[in-house]
Each structure stands twice: as structure tokens, then as C-alpha cells.
A and B are shown apart, each in its own frame.
Chain A
Amino acid sequence: MARTPEEFRTKQQIDVRVLHEVVGIDPKAGRVRVVDLSANREWWEPYDHLLIATGAVPLRPKVPGADAAGIYGVHTLESGIRLRKILDESRPARAVIVGGGYIGLEMAEAFLLRGMQVSLVEKAPQVMGTLDEDMAVHIAQALTDRGVTLHLNEGLEAFEVRDGRVRAVITSQRSLETDIVLLGMGVVPNTDLAREAHIPLGERGAVRVDRRMATQVEGVWAAGDCAESFHRLTGRPIHVALGTVANRHGRVAGMNMAGGEASFSGVLGTAVTRICSLEIARTGLQTRELEALGRSFVSRTIESHTRAGYFPGSGRIHVKLLADSDTGAVLGAQIVGEEGAAKRIDVMAAAITAGLTAQEVSELDLGYAPPFSPLWDPLIIAARLLAKDAP
């Protein structure tokens, strides 16, 4: 939602100064160094409370040729608009995407819609690393069906550059000729200012915060992609760069800075995305995380339909549920399927938050009518099977 600085100023009396960069924090004196980028003016601005909400920056590969023309990221609205302009004007025929996360997949769709030839390079053995491999294969299949050439298990090694422009992507296996490159390698917290001011950092270089979003330095708070979260199930610090989390962080920090009492309730890593008609969703802990934690767990994967099988627009849906093998508590859920599949994840996020067991999920009173689900919702079917293996 885009609101203008004027709207913030007049409707909410919030003094928003765009084109103003903070270049230093002095926590001892309680002030920040501000540069007015349009006027070449610089001064110290004092504060009682400071919120660091500087976001994250896209990961740039440290390989030869990485600063050549024709290599793009889509981290901001401006960068997205710039890329679209280039696609409109120079009509590149081929694109190579580096990274098989949600940004890479969403951009693959955009390129396909323009009739471009699309290759995707991913160093892991699967796309969408936040899902288990047996679920990610359905995504890989859908990408291949729609014409994307997938190169899994292939690391980026270099860009071949001619006359300052990228010509090919060199992987550990091959050279892929291309007109443009799209980087979707993830983001890192933008915490240089915090580090320079000796504000302690934590998980993946994000600013360390407690549940009130307070940093370890008096009067300084942090929120959003630059700040840590903690996992609701493990209690451990985790860095999640999502708009949902950034808004929740911001609300907690805002309340506390104004003298209120608010506490962040943690994350489950709930996320949804879509590539063409295929919807992808996940919440809770995945197999890799559970193994790393040494937890004993059981899992079940089912295939069903998004709507009553005979209903127009009914499509395939795959559901995977994971539960604690001692208590039966559901710990994770993953969904890949056609239209209507993804937002089912919210039921599972609620179930995990409430500590429901697989048996309890299988007994939930969920809605049914042919346009929305089969008589037994795919979640119920999966939970019922899972309950047989878990108490």
C-alpha cells in the first residue's frame, strides 16, 4: 500500500523526510547523523527512541563479471520498474535466473509471459529450499512443463562479459548464453549502521532484539528485514525477511517506543507464493530443520483435489504434514497445488500455534462445498493418515 509522505504528515502528523539518509548512529549521545540528499545539508538529529528499520539488501554474487550490464535484481519498486522498461524496450529473448527461491520463481513467470526462453540455475538439489525435496519436485515439474530449463546442483561460477555486457552465465557444469540475468539469491540484513555503532548483531547478521524489539543498546530498537525474529516452536533466533513479519515487528516496536507494552509472538516461517497457476505454501518446521534439531518426527504426504473432483477448475493438490512422534503435535505443513491450494496453509499455521495434534486436526470442523474442496479437505485426509503414525 503506497501512502505519500504528505498523507502521513497531514493525516497522522508523522514527519516523513524522503531523500534523507542516516549515515551514522551515536547511541551514547542519543543522536543520528542525517544527510539531506537533495540539499547537500548534514546535521545531528537527537532522539529519545531510535528505530532501525533499514531492511535487507539483495545478495550479490562475488564472482568475476558480477558488475556487468544486463544483470538485474528486483529488490525495490524502482528496480522492478527499471527491469520492466528494459524488457519492453530491448525485448531480450533469453533470461537466466540465478536462484530458485520465490523471487526467482516469480520472475520466471514474468519472463515466460513475455515469451522469453528461461533457464534457472540453482546450486541446491531442489528449488524452494524452504520446502522438503519431495514437495519441491512438484514445483520443478511445473516449471519444466511450462518451458523453464532447470539446472539444479549447479553453482554460479562467473559471468562471461563482452563490451561490458553479460553474454553468458558460467556454472559448475556449463556455459549458458543469455541476454539478461536475474539475481534471486536471497537477501542479507542491511545492518552496517548498527554494526558501526556497536549495536550487537545476531542471526545472519540481523540486529539482535528481544521480544519487545529492543536491541541490547538503551533507547535503540530494530524491526523488519534488518532485525532478528524468534521461532515460535523452538524459541531460537531466526532471520525471516518477509513483509508480514516486518509489519508485525513494526507494530510491536511502535507500541513500546510510545510507552506501551507489546511483545512479538514469534514466527512459524509461514509463506505463500505462486508460479503461473501453481500455488506453493509452507509453515512450521521442515524435515531439514527437524533433523538439525534432533527431533523425532513422522510425516505424511498425500495427493488430492483443490475442489470436488467433478467441479470445474478442480486441480491437483499435494499436502505434506509433519508431527512430533511422541506427542503427535503438528510441527510443519507444506502445500503445492493448483488454484485454491495455498491459503489452506493458514489453517495449519493456526493449528501449529494452538499446539493441535494430527488427530485433532483430522477432527476439525472445516467448511465444505464443491467449489471449495472435496468432502474431506486435503488437510483432513493428510492429518488422518499422519495420526495413524503419531499418537
Chain B
Amino acid sequence: MGTSKKVVIIGGDAAGMSAASVAKRKDPNLQVIVFERGPHTSYSA
């Protein structure tokens, strides 16, 4: 795990969460962190 790359995402809604899902699927070793200032993720759309 030490060499795996890290993706940080700002915003956990439509764009942020779809990017997180696709990135993780493409490279399961990727470390993906999403910061969302609100109390929920992925609502609209």
C-alpha cells in the first residue's frame, strides 16, 4: 500500500462521487478520500 497513489476530492456530490467510484474501480489500489462540508453525500442528479 505504501506506493499506492492518493486522490483527494473536494465535494461529495454528483461530480465528486462519480469520479471517486470510477477511479477506485479503475485502480483498486488507489487511495481515495472525499471531503464534503455538508452532512450528506451524493444527492442531486
Contacts and interface: CB of A to CB of B under 8 A. Distances in A.
Contact of B15 (A2, A15, A37, A250): A250
A55 B39 contact: no
B35 to A, nearest CB: 4
Interface stretch (A18-26, A61-69, A111-119, A351-359): A18-26
A8 interface: yes
A53 B40 contact: no
B15 A47 contact: no
Given A2-B42, A77-B40, A15 B31 contact: yes
B12 A52 contact: no
Interface in B13-34: 13-28, 30-34
Interface of B is mostly: mixed
B10 A51 contact: yes
Given A16-B12, A18-B40, A257 B7 contact: yes
Contacts of B44: 77, 243
A interface bracket (residues with beta carbon within 8 Å of B): 35 or more
For the side of the interface on B, what is the size category? 35 or more
A32 B31 CA distance: 16
Contacts of B12: 5, 16, 18, 53
Chain A contact residues, majority secondary structure: mixed
Contacts of B15: 51, 53, 55, 223-227, 246-247, 249-250, 253
B16 A224 contact: yes
Contacts of B40: 2, 18, 77
Interface in A51-88: 51-55, 76-78
Contacts of A259: 26-27
Contacts of B41: 2-5, 8, 16, 18
B23 to A, nearest CB: 4
B28 to A, nearest CB: 8
A46 interface: yes
A51 B36 contact: no
Given A48-B7, A51-B9, A78-B38, 5 more contacts: A22-B10, A32-B10, A244-B45, A257-B7, A259-B26
Interface of A: 1-5, 8, 12-22, 32, 34, 37, 45-55, 76-78, 193, 221, 223-227, 242-244, 246-247, 249-251, 253-255, 257-260
28 contacts: A1-B42, A2-B41, A3-B17, A3-B41, A3-B42, A12-B20, A13-B32, A14-B24, A19-B38, A32-B10, A32-B35, A37-B37, A47-B8, A48-B5, A48-B6, A49-B8, A53-B15, A77-B40, A78-B38, A193-B10, A246-B14, A247-B14, A247-B18, A250-B14, A250-B16, A251-B19, A254-B26, A257-B7
